[in-house]
Amino acid sequence: MILPTIDYRRGAVEIIDQTLLPAEMRIRRLRTLADLEEAIAAMRVRGAPAIGLAAAYGMLLALEERLRKRVKRAPRYFFDRASFVTPFADAGLSARELGETLASARTRIAATRPTAANLFWALDRVMRAARHGGRDPFEICCSVAAEAFWIHHEELEIELAIGRNGERLIRDGMNVLTHCNAGGLATAGYGTALGVLYAAWEKGKRFHVYADETRPLLQGARLTAWELSHRGMPHTLLCDGAAASLLAAGRIDAVVVGADRIAANGDTANKVGTLALAVLCAKFKTPLYVAAPASTFDPAIPSGRGIPIEERAESEVTTIRGRPHAPAGTRAYNPAFDVTPAGLIRAIVTERGVMKRPNRSQIRLFTKR
């Protein structure tokens, strides 16, 4: 089952609005770059791979807006993943103007969320593709569209490969714990950490999934439980703080999580609360597996100390859906992510294979492929 998490259709980016789940499944059409920026910042679309794809489509959306303003007798839309690019007369457009449009869009999209490496990786790929279009405006648009649509196709193939590579880590009868949501909703539609579990389930293995609720925005409760329910996979939801007692009692056989950025030494940023699980896994001798695409590695950052950690609004902690549940004036600490040292990670699963006991030398060889 592939979820319609994000797509580019008839001149707009279409997303599942994840802020409404599980109560409502709504496809939202984003027709402007401002709409897309808001959707990423508000976590209507979220998860490192999905954010990367949204970034690529945001660049295409910026071109769509520019063309609407400049092309006379403009068609209803210029870009669509099914039909590619609608031909147009350049209407005086220049390569320089389109380059400036893309550069401005890159700056705006890059400012939405600082931690996920996939966002910057996708933006840079699209900018390189634009340069391959040369001086012809239509060719530039075709190059950008081809790259954005290829990233979408490639991302889904990557997720399926991660699942195939990681499912061998899952055995019949296991109890597997996951944190946050690294399934179809966080990706191009299949998943990374949950993709490992989906692939194992599809091979006939039967096991039980424990899902942390993942405070403060409850991605585990709202999104992971929703995905598992739709797939008919047995699962139990628990408060984040309850994971320790399960691990101490030996009731968890493995923990599988995603990643938003992996430093050159293997230190890994993921949803806040992952570090606590990693420490618990080390204490109680339970393997912690990270599942993420190769685009998540950032060899320019030597260690986890250099990974920028997004801090979000205090109101996400002090209120629930706009209703206060802490006394007025109470301050809150709300980092979106924390960093797990590489030494606490048993293996990293990617589309290229399984890297056991990740370290700097392994990652250097891995990222040169």
Q: Rounded distance, CA 290 to CA 257, Å?
A: 5
Look up 17 and say whether it is catalytic.
Answer: no
Distances (CA, A) of 231 to 24, 100, 224, 227: 17, 45, 11, 6
Q: Enter the DSSP assignment of 311.
A: B
Measure the CA–CA gap between 297 and 260, rounded to whole angstroms: 9
Q: Which of 162, 54, 57, 52 is nearest to 118 (CA)?
A: 52
Q: Which stretches within 167-187 are classed as H helix?
A: none
Phi (first) and psi of residue 177, to 5 degrees: -105, 140
User: How many CB atoms are closer than 10 A to CB 215?
Assistant: 18
Helices (H), the chain: 33-41, 48-70, 95-110, 117-132, 137-166, 193-202, 219, 225-231, 243-248, 274-283, 315-318, 360-367
Rounded Cα distance between 30 and 344, Å, is 40
38-55 CB burial, b ≥16 within 10 A, e <16: ebbeebbbbbbbbbbbbb
User: What single-letter amino acid sits at 156?
Assistant: L
Q: Which of 7, 80, 212, 260 is catalytic?
A: 260
Q: Which residues 6+ apart lie within 8 Å of 229 measured at CB?
A: 235
- Cα dihedral value 306, 265, 197, 310, nearest 10: 0
C-alpha 118/C-alpha 229 separation (Å) is 28
Catalytically active residues, by annotation: 260
